[in-house]
């Protein structure tokens, strides 16, 4: 059976060179990076070289990179510490955020630590800057704004510069979940307007279970996981040397090939849009997904003109992996709150959303296989 993987926003295939770098770290015994002897010092230097390499790619300071177990932990570290250590008592965020942000702020709201406000969305899930500005006006409480760089379900690129200007004007702290952007866009942390950001290695062809928090110098965050003094006392626990080496290698390679990969994947996405339009009448795209310059080149969120919760499963039976959220307002357990937030409920009636997401290993043939499978499935459903 053919195997087509178009779910790169969920996770990406690790690059061979990354596997090799990780194997060399595992196969030569290195000690505990906190030990003072040679074995320990060897591990320490692998970690610190990796940190320097990551920082260089992002024009950050090495001390601003704190390795974590992934994007979820990085978001938790930033949000929970900001509330506890920076005396934040209000968080403004949006309905587009990943659960690692939304559930974390809601948890803190349930405990009475913060109030949470959701910024208003305009058409296609665009954040209303005026609403953000109004919410921040005349406020006597210290506020953290948490708004992502790019959305993981519909692919909208958000106006982080606009958010940054407004946050600065009102003296608010700004966190951006950059998990779907780091490794896909060049990022200059010295110029970007946020205080805090997060990244996850498995989104850029690195290992799962590895990520980092970007914590701008002198912002005053404190650890959430306490114990030893690892990660400059920001995250206790013996470091995952091999994972850190893998993350740094993956980031190095992703930025080395960025321009050519981006061009090729962007063309693949455009090709997928036109093939779907041609072969599946009635198809439409969610949020800003089909606007190439305003959405991630890696994500295409499509709505198909049938209501079928098993569509993703039927594609899976044909060897094609994509991600499925249920149609707007379906009320089913797996409905996508992001698609619901950005879509027009009337337009979404009797449709099924699918997220198609691309990575460096995808080829035109993968898109052809998906589109022809969808065409067959749509024809069958129309007849039945
Ligand atoms: N934030 C966004 C936008 C994501 O897409 C994801 C993963 O899908 C995460 C956070 C969580 O990252 P991790 O899987 O590394 O915990």
Judge whether 250 and 207 are in contact, CB under 8 Å: yes
Closest residue (by CA) to atom 13 of ligand 1? 71
State how far the Cα of 353 lies from the Cα of 311, in Å rounded to an integer: 9
pLDDT of residue 18 exceeding 50, the answer is: yes
pLDDT of residue 56 exceeding 60, the answer is: yes
Site to probe by mutation for ligand 1, drawn from 7, 11, 180 as the one with most ligand atoms within 8 Å of Cβ, is 180
**pLDDT-based confidence at 348, cuts 50/70/90?**
confident
In 3D space, the residue among 374, 378, 356, 379 whose CA is nearest the CA of residue 318 turns out to be: 374
Site to probe by mutation for ligand 1, drawn from 71, 151, 177, 210 as the one with most ligand atoms within 8 Å of Cβ, is 71
Q: Which two tokens stand for residue 322?
A: 């994509």
The pLDDT score that the predictor gives to residue 169 is 96
The pLDDT score that the predictor gives to residue 333 is 45
**pLDDT tens column, 62-88:** 999 999 999 999 999 999 999 999 999
* Distant-in-sequence, close-in-space partners of 365: CB < 8 Å, separation ≥ 6: none
For the CA of 150, the nearest atom of ligand 1:
3
Percent of the chain scored above 90 by pLDDT?
A: 89
In 3D space, the residue among 100, 96, 200 whose CA is nearest the CA of residue 150 turns out to be: 96
Residue 99 CA to ligand 1 center (angstroms) comes to 8
For the CA of 72, the nearest atom of ligand 1:
16
Q: Does any ligand 1 atom lie closer than 6 A to the CB of residue 336?
A: no
Q: Does any ligand 1 atom lie closer than 6 A to the CB of residue 152?
A: yes
Q: Does any ligand 1 atom lie closer than 6 A to the CB of residue 243?
A: no
Residue 200 CA to ligand 1 center (angstroms) comes to 7
**pLDDT tens column, 318-332:** 999 999 864 343 344
This prediction has a pTM of: 0.96
Q: Please give the positions annotated as active site.
A: 328
State how far the Cα of 213 lies from the Cα of 104, in Å rounded to an integer: 16
State the SS3 of the chain: CCCEECECCCCCCCCHHHHHHHHHHHHCCCCCCCCCCHHHHHHHHHHHHHHHHHHHHHCCCHHHEEEECCHHHHHHHHHHHHHHHCCCCEEEECCCCCHHHHHHHHHHHHCCCCEEEECCECHHHCECHHHHHHHHCCCCCCEEEECCCECCCCCEECCHHHHHHHHHHHCCEEEEECCCCECCECCCCCCCCCCEEEEEHHHCCCCCCCEEEEECCCCCCCCCCCCCCHHHHCCCCCCCHHHHHHHHHHHHHHHHCHHHHHHHHHHHHHHHHHHHHHHCCCCEECCCCCCHHHECCCEEEEEECCCCCCHHHHHHHCCEECEECECCCCCCCCECHHHHHHCCHHHHCCCEEEEEECCCCCCHHHHHHHHHHHHHHHHHHHHC
State the SS3 of 32-97: CCCCCCHHHHHHHHHHHHHHHHHHHHHCCCHHHEEEECCHHHHHHHHHHHHHHHCCCCEEEECCCC
Q: Quick one: CA dihedral 181, 184, 187, 192, positive or negative?
A: negative
**pLDDT tens column, 204-263:** 999 999 999 999 999 999 999 999 999 999 999 999 999 999 999 999 999 999 999 999
In a 10 Å sphere around its CB, with 0-12 CB exposed, 13-18 middle and 19+ buried, how is residue 130 labelled? exposed
Q: Does any ligand 1 atom lie closer than 6 A to the CB of residue 125?
A: no
State how far the Cα of 214 lies from the Cα of 183, in Å rounded to an integer: 14
Q: Does any ligand 1 atom lie closer than 6 A to the CB of residue 71?
A: yes
Q: Which two tokens stand for residue 237?
A: 């626990």
Residue 10 CA to ligand 1 center (angstroms) comes to 8
State how far the Cα of 160 lies from the Cα of 323, in Å rounded to an integer: 26
Residue 330 CA to ligand 1 center (angstroms) comes to 25
State how far the Cα of 145 lies from the Cα of 248, in Å rounded to an integer: 29
State how far the Cα of 366 lies from the Cα of 372, in Å rounded to an integer: 10
Residue 278 CA to ligand 1 center (angstroms) comes to 33
The pLDDT score that the predictor gives to residue 263 is 98
Percent of the chain scored above 70 by pLDDT?
A: 97
Closest residue (by CA) to atom 9 of ligand 1? 71
Q: Which two tokens stand for residue 73?
A: 């932990």
**pLDDT tens column, 247-296:** 999 999 999 999 999 999 999 999 999 999 999 999 999 999 999 999 99
């Amino acid at each position: 059976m053919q195997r087509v993987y178009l779910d790169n926003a969920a996770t990406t295939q690790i690059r061979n060179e990354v596997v090799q770098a990780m194997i060399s770290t595992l196969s030569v015994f290195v000690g505990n990076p906190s030990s003072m002897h040679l074995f320990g010092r060897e591990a320490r230097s692998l970690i610190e070289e990796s940190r320097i390499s990551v920082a260089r790619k992002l024009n950050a300071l090495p001390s601003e990179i704190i390795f974590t177990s992934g994007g979820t932990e990085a978001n938790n570290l930033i949000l929970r510490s900001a509330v506890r250590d920076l005396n934040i008592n209000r968080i403004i965020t949006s309905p587009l955020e990943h659960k690692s942000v939304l559930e974390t702020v809601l948890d803190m709201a349930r405990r009475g630590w913060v109030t949470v406000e959701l910024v208003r969305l305009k058409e296609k899930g665009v954040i209303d800057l005026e609403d953000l500005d109004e919410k921040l006006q005349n406020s006597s409480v210290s506020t953290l704004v948490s708004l992502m760089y790019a959305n993981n379900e519909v692919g909208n690129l958000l106006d982080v510069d606009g958010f940054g200007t407004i946050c600065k004007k009102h003296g608010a702290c700004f966190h951006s979940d950059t998990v779907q952007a780091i490794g896909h866009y060049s990022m200059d942390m010295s110029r970007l307007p946020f205080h805090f950001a997060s990244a996850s290695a498995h989104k850029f062809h690195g290992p799962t279970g590895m990520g980092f928090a970007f914590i701008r110098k002198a912002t005053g965050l404190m650890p959430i996981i306490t114990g030893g003094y690892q990660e400059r006392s920001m995250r206790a626990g013996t470091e995952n040397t091999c994972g850190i080496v893998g993350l740094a290698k993956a980031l190095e390679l992703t930025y080395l090939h960025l321009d050519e990969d981006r061009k090729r994947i962007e063309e693949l996405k455009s090709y997928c849009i036109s093939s779907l339009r041609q072969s599946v009448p009635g198809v439409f795209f969610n949020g800003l997904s089909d606007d190439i310059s305003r959405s991630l080149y890696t994500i295409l969120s499509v709505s198909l003109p049938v209501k079928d919760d098993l569509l993703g499963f039927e594609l899976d039976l044909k060897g094609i992996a994509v991600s499925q959220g249920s149609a707007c307002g379906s009320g089913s357990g797996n409905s996508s709150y992001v698609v619901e937030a950005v879509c027009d409920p009337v337009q979404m009636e009797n449709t099924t959303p699918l997220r198609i997401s691309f990575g460096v290993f995808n080829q035109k043939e993968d898109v052809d296989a998906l589109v022809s499978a969808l065409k067959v499935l749509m024809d069958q459903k129309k007849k039945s």
